[in-house]
Amino acid sequence: MIRDRGRIKWTAMMLPEHLEKLRDWVAEDAYEEKPTLDEWAWQDMQQQLDIAYRTGCEIRVKTWEDGVFKDRIGVLKRVNGQLGLIDLEVGQDVQTLSLDAVIGIETMDFS
């Protein structure tokens, strides 16, 4: 006896438009809102940036971009307070991150 006959029957009737809408619906479920940071969180991030800049240790920067959280691990190279940017050396590449996208900073080790 075939137990998944219903799934086979309905899959053949799916139109490309239906599949596209289902993919959009799944993507909406994965979307996460950007957390709001209070003054204490901003002060903690400032302290972590200061420690990382002075000691040259690795940091983990957690960012929020388009509904997705991303972690980057690297060494802080430069902080531009006027433009709100930080330069993070990840391997051989230098990535420029906006402080508006940063939601968390954690020092990894002290070299």
pLDDT of res. 27: 76
pLDDT of res. 10: 61
What mean pLDDT do residues 12-23 have? 78
Q: How far is CA 74 from the centre of its chain?
A: 14
What sign for the dihedral angle of Cα 10, 16, 19, 25? negative
Q: What does pTM read for this prediction?
A: 0.68
Alpha helices in the chain (DSSP H): 5-12, 16-30, 39-55
Question: Is pLDDT of 111 > 60?
Answer: no
Q: What would the pLDDT profile of 37-80 be if each residue is shown by its tens digit?
A: 899 999 999 999 999 999 989 999 999 988 889 999 999 999 99
pLDDT of res. 11: 61
pLDDT of res. 26: 77
Q: What would the pLDDT profile of 96-107 be if each residue is shown by its tens digit?
A: 999 999 999 999
pLDDT of res. 83: 92
User: d(Cα 60, Cα 25) in Å, to the nearest integer?
Assistant: 31
